[in-house]
Amino acid sequence: MAVASTSLASQMSGPKSATSISCPQFSGLRKSFSKLDNSVSFFTSQAFFQNVDSHLRLSSDRKGCRAVVAMAGSGKFFVGGNWKCNGTKDSISKLVSDLNNAQLESDVDVVVAPPFLYIDQVKNSLTDRIEVSAQNCWTGKGGAFTGEISVEQVKDLGCKWVILGHSERRHVIGENDEFIGKKAAYALSQGVGVIACIGELLQEREAGKTFDVCFQQLKAFADAIPSWDNVVIAYEPVWAIGTGKVASPEQAQEVHVAVRDWLTKNVSTEVASKTRIIYGGSVNGSNSSDLAKKEDIDGFLVGGASLKGPEFATIVNSVTAKKVAA
């Protein structure tokens, strides 16, 4: 599904006109104009940001039609736990026991991603209420690829999902956008759902490249995958992963709205509506409810807090903060 790359200005300012402007430079997400076309000198930075703010606050104007849960997308709330390279047989047995005993809200899709070595242990002991994900997979069938795991092996263990594009794979292992896109395409072709991770480094946010980075990563997925069915997008600002720093609800919502708008403009309105966009980055039991209240935050991808059964249950149950009166 090939898509055309578009600028932030064309993404956020509505229909194109005969008069063009240069794209503004942002610090974090916003910064005053560094350059404007002389032909549009009347178009002030204040007016531009009123337009952007109006666009990014579209969710606040959506009233009434969602009497159960306030979500911009039409998908079910989704919470994933990425256990990363943590755990032993004993500690994972304790974690699984805690999860099996937890009272979880029914209207949430819950997934956990153990280390590969423990997937079978978890799958054989975890309640069916919670699905199991792999943390990575290869770009095609198995073979002479030392240290890799194929999608067929992931399926054989009973996994329904795989996490791809996580920042630790991008920036520590060195995987690039094209390689990640190939992984996603093959996983989907084999019936395994993809949790597609995107997000900017701190220096990229400070340089005003948050949207550019996220849109480029989205485009790499869109260019490769045959369909957005069975894809969940996880926005994880790299500067917030494992650092204790968390994007404010407003910061996260702002990017989530922009991602949904990108899908509308570059893929389809239907895909933008049904694709769940979840947030990750130091999510815990204390901040999840405030984040969940934002209309375009459709759930979470949780790191360290997912290793604590009771706290992970609290995050899952933060969906209650999203519910509104009928």
Return all residues near 131 (Cβ < 8 A) that are at least 6 apart.
Answer: 109, 110, 111, 112, 159, 160, 161
- Does the active-site annotation cover 236? yes
Q: Which amino acid is at 122?
A: V
Predicted local distance difference test score (pLDDT) of residue 323: 78
Return all residues near 87 (Cβ < 8 A) that are at least 6 apart.
Answer: 95, 114, 115, 118, 307
Q: Reply yes or no on whether the pLDDT at 128 is more than 50.
A: yes
- Does the active-site annotation cover 166? yes
In the structure, what pLDDT confidence band is assigned to residue 46 with cuts at 50, 70 and 90? very low
298-311 pLDDT, tens digit per residue, is 999 999 999 999 99
Question: Which of 259 and 27 is assigned the larger pLDDT?
Answer: 259
Q: Reply yes or no on whether the pLDDT at 19 is more than 70.
A: no
User: Which tokens sit at 286?
Assistant: 């204390």
User: Which segment of 55-64, 110-119, 123-132, 268-277 scores lowest on mean pLDDT?
Assistant: 55-64
DSSP per-residue codes, 54-117: HHHTGGGG--SS-SSB--SSSSPEEEEEE-TT---HHHHHHHHHHHHH----TTEEEEEE--GG
HSE (CB half, 13 Å, CA atoms) of 148? 15
Q: Which residues pair with 123 in a beta bridge?
A: none
d(CA 229, CA 244): 33
Q: Reply yes or no on whether the pLDDT at 266 is more than 90.
A: yes
Question: Which of 203 and 49 is assigned the larger pLDDT?
Answer: 203
Exactly one of 236, 254, 295, 311 is catalytic; which is it?
236
114-124 pLDDT, tens digit per residue, is 999 999 999 99
d(CA 183, CA 187): 6
Exactly one of 131, 166, 168, 256 is catalytic; which is it?
166
Q: The whole model's pTM is what?
A: 0.79
Q: How many residues are there in the chain?
A: 326
* pLDDT, average across residues 193-210: 96
Return all residues near 296 (Cβ < 8 A) that are at least 6 apart.
Answer: 59, 71, 72, 73, 253, 256, 257, 260, 277
Q: Which residues pair with 108 in a beta bridge?
A: 77
93-103 pLDDT, tens digit per residue, is 999 999 999 99
Are 87 and 118 in contact by the 8 Å Cβ rule? The answer is: yes
Predicted local distance difference test score (pLDDT) of residue 131: 98
Predicted local distance difference test score (pLDDT) of residue 29: 52
